Chain A
Amino acid sequence: MRVLLVGSGGREHALAKLLLRSSSEPKLYVASDYTNPGLLREAESSGGRLYTVSTVDPQKVAKVAEEVSPDLVVVGPEEPQFAGVVDALRDRGYAVFGASSRCSLVERSKVFARTLMWKYGIPGRLYFKAFRSLEEATEFLRFAGDVVVKPARQAGGKGVRVVRDTRAYLSMDKSEVKAQAASRIYEELSGYRDIEYKVLVEQRVEGVEYTAQVVTDGSYVLPLPLVQDHPHAFEGDLGPETGGMGSISGPGVTLPFITHDEYAATVDIVRQVLERLREEVGDRYVGAFAGQMMLTALWGPTVIEFYSRFGDPEVANLLPRIDGDFLEVVERAVSGRLAGAKLAVKEEVVSVVKAVAPAGYPSSKDEASGHPVAVDEGRIRELGCDLLYASVVVGGDGHLYTKGSRAFEVVCYADSYAEAYRLSELAVGYVRSLDGWPLFYRSDVGSPELIEERVRLAERVRRVYTHRASRGLSWRTVVWIPGRGVVDDPLLSYVGWSR
């Protein structure tokens, strides 16, 4: 069996490992933007090969497919989906696992995703307002209160500005920050021609974030264990949002701070969204889908955004946590027979994944690129951990060089967080810089202290949302502007109007 995997990073390396575990011993071919040494090795050791090609160019990827003539194509990242790579391959008759461009709209356009939720009254939705022009956005933000300013298009988490504005004595300055965020987003998105709206202003919520990943064949939804990502660059959840600096999963299908009821409610939200999405775009969704969720005081499980693919590094947590033939699951999804798929979760196993990135990531790719690094994969293996290659290439001198994003991910597991954490801390120690340029990772990911903190935060949030629901307040937010009347818009602030 021949499998073509499209994509270049750590997520694809994890997918490659999952697919190659299959008893059907597939040959793995990879279409990748650069020669990821991990993907190269997986491909060659299976008897396949790696093609370097622009993964967002449907023609070029299709050409690779013609050459490989795969039985199955797996498209990892979202950008090739947006660009129509999946569509081009399906048109040519290939069996593709990955959202079509129409289905991937649920990730590409945050306005579309939110509108879908409001239109069908799906729980976990946040109040939002979207703007086409910067002028409109700036004018609205003058009156806005406690909000998040986001790019209206998926832009890798970049540009998101969470502006907590709950203390009036800081409001003037916060207002300034909001306006600046909107203008920066507007600039950053000016290059994208595929969306109408540029700036999104959304209700700010607080709580515990987690990701709910599923696989679907267009009707059946197979939920995977929850994962918690750590999007901030630095320890203590400080620093800018990144693609994700590490993640944890287990035990069981939930996390230590998410109850089974909350898990069920989350899966239900995801199911509803997928069902409505199919009606809305008139296309069968085949592939991975994820809800980036937050347990909030408003709703309990609340949607922050959607991924039309597996999360990175979220998917890496599946490596030690699932049993069964992943390739078969993927095949069944593609052929519409997912209902019979078997994928057992290792209940007792918990996983800790950590990304290592060069300083400069995520804000300055240039600074973060071109640094020689080394990794002692043998020692990492000795610990029972796995190593994923992400944004690195082999240079002419045989050394590995950073490409500006997360360079490696270590995947560790044990039957307790204390042990998985200990292993992950040892494992990241085998990644080192060869030119003195600093590498960073988050030591707090998976630590018992941080998990306990999340448990406490979740309890606080749970107290509020269960209670609000029981009192009929649920997600309702009423805003009354004295002298103006009641406005049904939680984005507006009393302070804004008073200014």
Chain B
Amino acid sequence: MVEELSKAVSKGATWRAIREVLEGFSEVDIPTFLAVTSRDELIAWRTPSGLTPLVVGGYGFDMLVASSESSAIEVLDADVRRYLGPAEGVYVSGSYLRFFKAGSGRGRGLCAFELLYTARHDAVVDGVAVYEFRKGLGRELSKLLADEVDVVVGVPETATPYAIGLSQATGKPLEVAFIPTATRSRSMLKLDPLDRLVAVHLKLNPVRSSLEGRRVAVVDDSMVTGATMKSVSQMLRLRVGVKEVHLLIASPKLVQSCPYSIFELSQDHLIAANLDDEYARVYLEVDSLAWLNLESVERVSRTFRCSLCGYCFGRESLGGDE
């Protein structure tokens, strides 16, 4: 694609010609595309698959910022101006700016993990406030909580809004369970399993006083191998001395690896694809284990009017129109 585009640019292509080149790739499952040409142009295109988001922002009339996440635009002290939909793109040169559409808009839907995990809590993705979406899923978790608990905690920090949602829905207090050490890092995004566990363990110094002797609902945003939660439950039991650990996962079971290379995880590493519920519960040493069901995600997605790719949950799409 880059090759085709540079050929076109060297022949003096206009934005229309560039769009045509992009259109030729509209059936290919590639994520958002961004290019800067030798003619000082910027081309940003959210492919028709729509798996990953694209946001455009700017300051006054001088500068344009294209980003996969609205937070980046705000951090750069710019304003968010437009959320690009699937197949939408923007072409910018020194003297010209043009939003365009390349390819058809029927996509796979936004990767569910964008809303569930990848985006920051302060982000707005395709017009959806991530924080509110997560709290909504957290409220759904309350339907799965069969046992009486004393406190709710979110582990790791990415699970906080879910835990807040659960806490608000159940009326049980939210407590801080762990304090991270060193820098904030996204443990799930690390490819090497040891690096991942190192990142997890650096987040897990317990606040004993808030939890000792209590029945604790632990909320995590997702569970891939379960290594994090195994560490958490052992820490809570042996170090802190909680009474019960009820684990609630704010995502449906991850059962298939992602064919779009958004997460590099093979199926034999997915706990939900390898261990049945009872076995997983014993492995994780928790009193109960519940995963958010697909219907809950459907319901919340509809409320927020978004359509999601749920391939890794074993469902082509979630939410969207009835």
Contact = CB atoms under 8 A, between A and B. Distances in A.
Interface residues of B, number: 36
B238 A498 contact: no
A168 B200 contact: yes
A340 B197 CA distance: 59
Contacts of B194: 168, 171, 495, 498-499
Contacts of B76: none
Given A476-B282, A478-B282, A297 B243 contact: no
Interface of B: 192-194, 197-198, 200-202, 204, 212-213, 225-227, 230-231, 234-235, 237-238, 241-244, 266, 268-271, 274-275, 279, 282-283, 285, 287
Given A206-B238, A478-B279, A495-B194, A168 B269 contact: no
Contacts of B227: 482, 494
Interface of A: 166-169, 171, 206, 297, 459-461, 463-464, 467-468, 471, 473, 476, 478-480, 482-483, 485-486, 494-495, 498-499
Contacts of B237: 297, 464
A382 B201 CA distance: 55
A476 B283 CA distance: 9
A113 B234 CA distance: 28
Contacts of A171: 194
Contact of A463 (B197, B226, B243, B283): B243
Contacts of A471: 287
Given A460-B241, A467-B244, A473-B285, A480 B274 contact: yes
A483 B197 contact: no
Contacts of A459: 241
Contacts of A468: 285
B266 A483 contact: yes
B223 to A, nearest CB: 12
A376 B201 CA distance: 54
Nearest to B212: A460
Contact of B235 (A166, A460, A461, A498): A166
Among B269, B279, B282, chain A packs the most CB atoms within 10 A around the CB of B282
B282 A168 contact: no
19 contacts: A166-B234, A171-B194, A297-B238, A464-B237, A468-B285, A473-B285, A478-B282, A478-B283, A482-B193, A482-B268, A482-B270, A482-B271, A483-B266, A483-B268, A486-B279, A494-B227, A494-B230, A495-B194, A495-B197
A480 B283 contact: yes
A498 B200 CA distance: 14
B303 to A, nearest CB: 34
A494 B234 contact: no
DSSP class of B's interface residues: helix, strand, loop or mixed? helix
A415 to B, nearest CB: 31
Contact of B231 (A166, A297, A498): A166
A171 B197 CA distance: 10
Contacts of A494: 193, 197, 225, 227, 230
Given A464-B238, A479-B283, 11 more contacts: A167-B201, A167-B204, A297-B237, A459-B241, A463-B241, A464-B241, A478-B282, A480-B226, A482-B269, A482-B274, A499-B194
A168 B241 CA distance: 21
B197 to A, nearest CB: 4
Nearest to B235: A166
Nearest to B241: A460
B259 to A, nearest CB: 19
A463 B271 contact: no
A478 B286 CA distance: 12
| Top 8 A-B pairs, shortest CB-CB distance | A460-B241, A168-B197, A498-B193, A482-B269, A498-B194, A478-B283, A482-B225, A169-B198
Contacts of B275: 480, 486
Contacts of A463: 213, 241-243
Contacts of B201: 166-169
A201 B268 CA distance: 29
A483 B269 contact: yes
Nearest to B238: A297
A483 B226 CA distance: 13
Among A206, A482, A483, chain B packs the most CB atoms within 10 A around the CB of A482
A464 B243 CA distance: 7
B265 to A, nearest CB: 9
A464 B226 CA distance: 21
A434 B97 CA distance: 93
Nearest to A457: B241
A150 B178 CA distance: 33
A417 B202 CA distance: 41
